[in-house]
Copies of this chain bind each other. A is one copy, B any other.
Amino acid sequence: MSVGAAGDLGDLGDLARCSLNTATVKRATLREAVDVAARAGLGAVGLWRDRVEEAGTARAAKLVADAGLCVSSLCRGGFLTAAHDDGVAAALDDNRRAIAQAAEVGAPELVFVVGGLPAAGGPEAPVRGDAGPGDRDLVAARARVADRLADLAPFAAEHGVRIALEPLHPLFAADRAVLSTLGQALDLAAPFAPQVVGVVVDTYHVWWDPALEASIARAGAERRLASYQVCDWCLPLAPVALNSRGHLGDGYVDFAAVTRWVARAGYTGAVETEIFNEAVWAADPAVTVATLADRYARLVRPHL
* Chain B residues whose C-beta falls within 8 Å of the C-beta of A241 in the assembled complex: 236-237
**Cβ of A175 under 8 Å from chain B:** yes
Greatest chain B CB density within 10 A among A119, A142, A209, A250 is at A209
* Chain B residues whose C-beta falls within 8 Å of the C-beta of A207 in the assembled complex: 138, 173
Q: Is the pair B257, A139 in contact by a Cβ cutoff of 8 Å?
A: yes
Q: Is the pair A171, B174 in contact by a Cβ cutoff of 8 Å?
A: no
Shortest CB–CB separation between residue A243 and chain B, in angstroms?
12
A137-184 interface with B by 8 A CB criterion:
137-139, 142, 169-171, 173-175, 180-181, 183-184
Bitwise interface map of A from 48 to 66 toward B, beta carbon under 8 Å scored 1, else 0: 0000000000000000000
Q: Is the pair B129, A170 in contact by a Cβ cutoff of 8 Å?
A: no
Q: Is the pair B120, A252 in contact by a Cβ cutoff of 8 Å?
A: yes
* Chain B residues whose C-beta falls within 8 Å of the C-beta of A137 in the assembled complex: 254, 257
Q: Is the pair B210, A129 in contact by a Cβ cutoff of 8 Å?
A: no
Residue ID in chain B nearest A299 by CB atoms: B133
A247-267 interface with B by 8 A CB criterion:
250-254, 256-257
Binds B, one of A6-14, A227-235, A286-294: A227-235
Q: Is the pair B129, A232 in contact by a Cβ cutoff of 8 Å?
A: yes
Q: Is the pair B237, A133 in contact by a Cβ cutoff of 8 Å?
A: no
A interface size (C-beta, 8 A): 45
Shortest CB–CB separation between residue A185 and chain B, in angstroms?
10
* Chain B residues whose C-beta falls within 8 Å of the C-beta of A183 in the assembled complex: 210-211
**Cβ of A223 under 8 Å from chain B:** no
Shortest CB–CB separation between residue A129 and chain B, in angstroms?
5
Shortest CB–CB separation between residue A261 and chain B, in angstroms?
10
**Cβ of A131 under 8 Å from chain B:** yes
* Chain B residues whose C-beta falls within 8 Å of the C-beta of A170 in the assembled complex: 169-171, 208-209
* Cβ 8 A contact of A138, one of B119, B138, B237, B254: B254
**Cβ of A218 under 8 Å from chain B:** no
Residue ID in chain B nearest A253 by CB atoms: B136
**Cβ of A117 under 8 Å from chain B:** yes
Residue ID in chain B nearest A136 by CB atoms: B254
Shortest CB–CB separation between residue A249 and chain B, in angstroms?
8
Residue ID in chain B nearest A237 by CB atoms: B241
Q: How far is the CA of A181 from the CA of B208 in the complex (A)?
A: 10
Given A129-B235, A138-B208, also A252-B184 (CB < 8 A): no
Greatest chain B CB density within 10 A among A208, A232, A246, A257 is at A208
A residues with CB within 8 A of B: 117, 119-120, 127, 129, 131, 133, 136-139, 142, 169-171, 173-175, 180-181, 183-184, 187, 207-211, 213, 232-237, 239, 241, 246, 250-254, 256-257
Inter-chain pairs besides A137-B254, A173-B207, A174-B235, 7 sampled, C-beta below 8 Å: A129-B235, A131-B252, A171-B171, A173-B208, A174-B233, A184-B210, A237-B241
